[in-house]
Amino acid sequence: MTKLNYKEKIPNNVDLSNDLSLQRALEHWQPKFKSWWTEMGPEGFQTSDVYLRTATSVDADGWATYGKVKMPEYRWGIFLNDKVSDRKIHFGDNIGDPVWQQVPGDYRSILRKLIVTQGDTEPASVEQQRELGKTCPSLYDLRNLFQVNVEEGRHLWAMVYLLHAYFGRDGREEAEGLLERNSGDIDNPRILGTFNEPITDWVSFFMFTYFTDRDGKYQLKSLAESSFDPLARTCQFMLTEEAHHMQVGETGITRMIQKTLEVMNALKSDSIDAIRNAGVVDLQTIQRYINFWFSSSLDLFGSEISSNSATAFANGLKGRPDEMRYKDHSEKNNSFTFEGLSLENTLVEQTIPMRNAMNEITRRSYVTDCEIGLKRWNRLIKKAGYDIIFTLPSTRFRRNIGIWAGIDSNPEGIIITKNEFDSKVNSWLPSEGDKEFIKSLMVQVTKVNKTAGWIAPPSRGINSLEIGYEYVELRQ
Ligand SMILES: [Fe+2]
Ligand SMILES: [Fe+2]
């Protein structure tokens, strides 16, 4: 058998060629990943040359190169941020001890679960987005979709590396499972709800990259604090790539709003029918899409009161995003007070141990981060002379996980009856009619320098190239 130069085959900075059994295990997994990509990855365009960035180093400047590549030939690699010498555990019960380079036996299963849950979301989103190429609003957007997709593929590699390198046989089995579960599959779905929601239009895609990739950012930030050093370092590097995904979401939504406002000004009207007839998305419908994807993403943080999150924090496995911002990193004797739910389903002030509130604390940081985009969009609307204001719904609205699951609340967070909820749901969440309308706007535009009518062209190109650059070279 020819000896493979593994450094060439799987780009990495983990010295793979010096660990033959790990090398072999990943070698065995690689063709499975490739066939998953072909079957479940982007539909079509697999032979097109796409202008993609590829991670090539972990240096802050110049960590990636750009160039045309066919997606199946993308260099999915394993990149961890550099080791910080003498790094110490900085939260939980073991503060001051050296961080772990191996998995402590006691924490093995909880750590494996954290890695598998994170790993499962990465290929899930690629599956959710696989049809979107057929309705891309421009070549620029098509390229961004594929950039997000290949990087989610790389994030899967990042988690699979940890499973293979540190969890032996169980880890290898979990790595197989990551390719076997599929988004929306009735018998074998992805682990978390949002990652089984179909993303069949670009409004949903931009909402997903804005709201759900941002959940990813907060999960990665929490894991980047981990005392299990390889996990911390791999998540730190993933965050570098993740920023672009959220930017795709934010600029996509911005461009959609810009186009709507342009049309409203031209029509001198805010009539929803007139706006829709002109082929753009009315702001009310955009608000309903915000409500849907934001509320769905809130569930990803888990229950407000969580003993699992307390354990993960106490053990030093998962911290708070930007842990160093907080004063107390043990939080053993502290409490957290919030507006919870009484036995009679009314709002009541509740006090719980701080460590049990870690999910809620992380969720709150996330909500604050989500608000930044809304403020920007509201400024655009105001500047155009309209008094519509986008808002994030209450964190009690439409929850399926945690203390608010099954509680009917309006977007302001007031608890209401199920009848009232059902009678108003179509003004709060995308209705079948809204989805039909959005679908009618989704036409594929692949001419250089052209953009679909429902969204403004991008304001700048990628990596200093012009907007009209041929970001994807289509092949028959
Ligand atoms: Fe990711
Ligand atoms: Fe992402």
Nearest by Cα to 430 from 255, 262, 294: 294
- Mapped onto helix, strand or coil, the DSSP state of residue 65 is strand
Q: What is the pLDDT of residue 8?
A: 59
pLDDT mean over 408-434: 97
Ligand nearest to the CA of 118: 1
Place of tokens 């719904």: 393
Ligand 1 centroid – CA 229 distance (Å): 19
Instruction: Locate 182 and state its tokens.
Output: 């599929």
Q: What is the pLDDT of residue 6?
A: 39
Ligand 1 centroid – CA 121 distance (Å): 7
Instruction: Locate 362 and state its tokens.
Output: 């992380």
Residue 5 pLDDT exceeds 50: no
Ligand 2 centroid – CA 441 distance (Å): 25
pLDDT mean over 396-406: 97
Q: Are 331 and 354 in contact (CB under 8 A)?
A: yes
Q: What is the pLDDT of residue 140?
A: 98
pLDDT in tens, 133-157: 999 999 999 999 999 999 999 999 9
Q: What is the pLDDT of residue 3?
A: 33
Q: Could you say which DSSP state residue 12 is in?
A: B
pLDDT in tens, 176-203: 999 999 999 999 999 999 999 999 999 9
Instruction: Locate 7 and state its tokens.
Output: 């450094």
Sheet containing strand 472-473, strands side by side: 64-70, 49-55, 472-473
Q: Are 332 and 355 in contact (CB under 8 A)?
A: yes
Ligand 1 centroid – CA 426 distance (Å): 31
Ligand 1 centroid – CA 467 distance (Å): 26
Distance CA 413, CA 400 (A): 15
Task: Concatenate the DSSP letters of all residues of 147-193 into one string.
Answer: HHHHHHHHHHHHHHHHHHHHSHHHHHHHHHHHHHS-TT-SSS--SSG
Beta strands 64-70; 347-353: pairing state = unpaired
**CB-side neighbour CA atoms (13 Å) of 194:** 30
Distance CA 332, CA 342 (A): 25
Ligand 2 centroid – CA 282 distance (Å): 27
Ligand 2 centroid – CA 288 distance (Å): 23
Residue 4 pLDDT exceeds 80: no
Distance CA 415, CA 425 (A): 14
The distance between the two most distant Cα atoms of the chain, rounded to a whole number of Å, is 72
Q: What is the pLDDT of residue 58?
A: 75
Band (pLDDT 50/70/90 cuts) for residue 335 is very high
Q: What is the pLDDT of residue 476?
A: 56
Ligand 1 centroid – CA 231 distance (Å): 14
CATH topology of domain 6-473: Ribonucleotide Reductase, subunit A (1.10.620)
**Spans of all domains in the chain:** 6-473
- Mapped onto helix, strand or coil, the DSSP state of residue 473 is strand
